[in-house]
Chain A
């Protein structure tokens, strides 16, 4: 009988711990979302800057060519 009572008490204790952890997780998730959204808003604020990138496609091809040539040179060396 006493053993059963102990089990009930342990379950209650664990449930309380779990509830506290869930509250903590929810708070962390909310805090994380807040920071993530703030970061996303900051990025969206740079929209004009991204729109104004000059020749991004040419730059992309040039950068890849450089990376490939650099790789080839370093492998030769």
Chain B
């Protein structure tokens, strides 16, 4: 991200003045401050992760209860990979959180959703998550130069993820690349053929499962008052609502807790090469548990002109990898055979982003494609703002809806 390209430096342009607020923890409302606040923040993060894992296991159980053994036939409408892909895009664009989509998907897979349907949803989540920083970049629209740089920095993430899906979805359909590799990896880390590693994973999984079972059982009991499949549907709804709440809450807490460490990571990365850029993007994203936060953070850095598009690019690639940690954590909500399939779904997201980095970012011929697309998009959107509106609505709303509509109608 941070290597110095041999080009004339652009004078930093003015960043449109944001609405600045002090970084506050939600727990400050309780009157906490100083050390007790910090301890409270960490305890709240731990409690939120606990709720997240529980919610994912509740979704798994709810899905099983709601569908019985009919998941495959009930989800026949999503068997078309393009529909599943667009569901992933729309769900993530609507919730503004790929972690929510991937965690829910992990829960559904553990509950019986076929992995072949889940894989395009996970790929779609990668596209949907790029909407956030694109929307953030629109805040600089008043200053043409800042906007051009910011919009390019935002859309380089869009282009990278679109190209990644364009490469890996056909490969998945033709050869089952992600399904096979993730299945192999899950078998060796959680399955019966995993040896020592599987034993460690299994031990952690069983412990986490034992800790989360009381809350999960409580939710199941509450939802259980409804008749038939409705109790399962209620469990899914409660699980999704809890995940939305806690992921948002964890994000707020981690921003406060990690801002200093994240700044240290970025300071260390300044002046170094693209590999450090990728690593810093991944590390910061793991810290704040949100690729949207990391990539949105890159927008003012790029908009000011301090960081070039070429320097921001590896940072966003790293963010893609860092965000996969949430689904991996969520997979610990299950034990036994369910744990293996849940872990496989989480590995799909991780492997897809690692493969995308290796094939697109590490290959000289393809590496520049997202940069070319983003530079062009930044230029045309600055010349005519309708392009910016068209891009946001077209890629994230209209195209997914039209594709779903056409596919379902046919």
Contact = CB atoms under 8 A, between A and B. Distances in A.
A71 interface: yes
Contacts of A52: 20-24
A32 interface: yes
Interface of A: 29, 32-33, 35-37, 39-57, 59-61, 63-64, 67-68, 71
25 contacts: A32-B9, A33-B4, A36-B9, A40-B301, A41-B267, A43-B300, A43-B306, A44-B266, A44-B267, A45-B263, A49-B18, A50-B18, A51-B293, A52-B20, A53-B20, A54-B19, A54-B21, A56-B135, A56-B139, A59-B19, A60-B141, A63-B16, A63-B141, A64-B388, A64-B389
Given A39-B306, A47-B297, A63 B138 contact: yes
Interface of B: 2, 4, 6, 9, 12, 16, 18-24, 96, 132, 135-142, 255, 259, 262-263, 266-267, 270-271, 293, 296-297, 300-301, 304, 306-307, 385-386, 388-389
A51 B255 contact: yes
Contacts of B96: 57
A21 to B, nearest CB: 15
A29 to B, nearest CB: 7
Contact of B307 (A43, A47, A50, A54): A43
Given A64-B138, A68-B385, A43 B18 contact: no
Contacts of B6: 29
Residue in A40, A45, A68 whose Cβ sees the most chain B Cβ within 10 Å:
A40
Contacts, number: 110
A40 B154 CA distance: 18
Contacts of B385: 64, 67-68, 71
